[in-house]
Each structure stands twice: as C-alpha cells, then as structure tokens.
Amino acid sequence: MQLQRVLAGISLQAPNPRAVLTAAEVAAVAHAELEVLTVLANPWELVRADEVEGLRRTHLGSPAEVAAQRACERLEQLAGPAVMAAPRASYRAAFGWPSVELVRRAEETGADLIVLGNSGHAGIGPAEDVTPATLRRSRVPVLVAPPVHEVYQRVLACVDDSPNASRVLEAATTLGESLGVPAVALHVEPATTGILAAGGRRPWLNRLEETAGGGTMLALETVVRQGDVVSEILNEAKSGPDSLIVFGYHRGLNYGAAGAVTTVAARLLRRATSALLAVPV
C-alpha cells in the first residue's frame, strides 16, 4: 500500500470536518496530495431557477459550472482550516451518486486512500448510505473517520489464516509507519480452540509470517483473543490507547444497515466508534 494521493469526501448538507481533518493529517505525515470532493445531486442545489437567465446573459457559465464553482468555494470555507497541514490540497465538485463519483474520482486520479465519515453521509444525499456503498465499489482502502477526532496511538491489524491477511497487515504497517505509531497484529479465534501446548504455534501465525515481506510479522506485537470476533476486536480497541482498526472486506457486498450481510466487516461498520480502515481483498 502506498500513500501518495488521498481523497476525502465531504457533504455540503451534512458536513463532517472530522473526515477532512483525518484525511489532512494522513496526507501530511505521508507527504501526499489531498483532494476534497463533494458530490451534488444536481446544479439546482446551489443555483436558483431564477438565476438561469441572468447567467445566460452575462456568460458566467452553465448552471452546472456555477454550482460546481460555488460548491468548491464552500468546501474551502468548511475544510480550509483542517487541510492546512497537508502539503498540497485541492477542491472539486461532481454530480451524481456519491459513492459512484467518489470511486470514479479515486480511479481517475490514482488515489491510494479514500477518507469518509462514519455517519454514512460523507458524500451527499439521503438516497444511499454513502460509506458502505463506497466500500462496495472501491478498489482502494477506505478510512472511516470517527465523529470525534482521535490522535491514533496504535494500529490494530485484524488478521486471520486466510491468504488475504497479508494485505491487511501491509496496509496497517504502512499507515502505522506514516503516523509514527506501532502496528499490532490481532487475531481472534474460537473459544473452543483451547490452550496452546508449550512450544506450539498457531497455523495462522505461521502462514502470515510466510507471506509477510521481509519478516515484518516478526517485528510486530501479536495479540490473540478468544470469543466472538467483532466483540473481541472492539474490546481490544477499547482496552488500550486510541486505536485505528484495520480489517479486510470483500467488494460487491451490501454492508449497509438494511439487509446487510452479517460479515465481520458489516458488523464493525455498525458497531465501532473508533476509526476504521477497510482494505479490499
């Protein structure tokens, strides 16, 4: 995982400056470019119908052009103080479905990370729950910022014995190195697993060490808990310093509240109050 371009989504109707502040901090520590994007359903959100004739006469631009300009001005007013730490910041407006336009823009610019708020309204519009809808489509990790800004003191990489665990570990260590905080590998196993015999090693740990480049896994603290996966992840996050939870998820699934699949990722999105980094696997 690289961190050269960060894309932050923010709504003008329900702005979440915390998401922009989180994105700006990540961009600053990684020396990455930051773009703040808002998505409008149509130009009429910022252009009145009685303005159209005046725009035509004065050649100030189409309603869409004027709405986009006004949106960027408002974005800068809302997010300007938060993005001061980023080395380079720009603002952009698009029209359409928030999750579609966020992912489209990420692909166009080669963004390495999308940052949203956990309210589900970091893009715009009541027609979709933006955060889970973006996860369903995104090919790059999505950082879900909490309502209250946190200074992360560790990164919890939720790993298992699947081949995809190495991607989660890589994303966690990359972000941890950028933020200057330790990464911790967290594994939750069934309560029926029992106590490990002296000198024994869990298969998941062996597999993860084999796939971790350069023996990265050996340098990490490893925490093993037993019980319900989501409950134990959240308990571990609460038991220590402020944590950023990193987990893997499969694209294309419904992670929203209504009719959502009951995966670990969906449950974490619904229950977690700390920051989350969702890594597509």
- Using alpha carbons only, give the angle 195, 200, 203 rounded to the nearest 5 degrees: 90
The distance of Cα 97 from the centroid of its chain, to the nearest Å, equals 18
Single out the residue of 237, 17, 253, 234 nearest to residue 115, CA to CA. 17
How far is Cα 125 from Cα 89, in angstroms, rounded to an integer? 24
Top CATH class of 154-280 equals alpha beta
Give span(s): CATH 3.40.50.620, the chain: 5-145, 154-280
Single out the residue of 8, 63, 5 nearest to residue 31, CA to CA. 5
How far is Cα 269 from Cα 119, in angstroms, rounded to an integer? 10
CATH code of the region 5-145: 3.40.50.620
Q: Which two tokens stand for residue 150?
A: 């946190």
Model pTM score: 0.86
**pLDDT per residue of the chain (281 residues) written in tens, 0 to 9:** 788 999 999 888 766 667 888 888 888 888 899 999 999 999 888 888 888 777 776 766 788 888 899 999 988 888 777 776 677 889 999 999 999 999 999 999 999 999 998 654 343 444 568 888 899 899 999 999 887 777 888 999 998 888 788 889 889 988 998 888 998 989 888 877 666 655 556 666 766 666 555 555 556 788 888 899 999 999 999 887 888 999 999 888 776 655 555 788 888 888 888 899 999 98
Q: What are phi and psi of 124, to 5 degrees?
A: -170, 150
Question: What string of H, E and C letters represents the secondary structure of 187-244?
Answer: EEECHHHCCCCCCCCCHHHHHHHHHCHHHHHHHCEEEEEECCHHHHHHHHHHHCCCEE
3-class DSSP assignment, residue 213: helix
How far is Cα 119 from Cα 140, in angstroms, rounded to an integer? 20
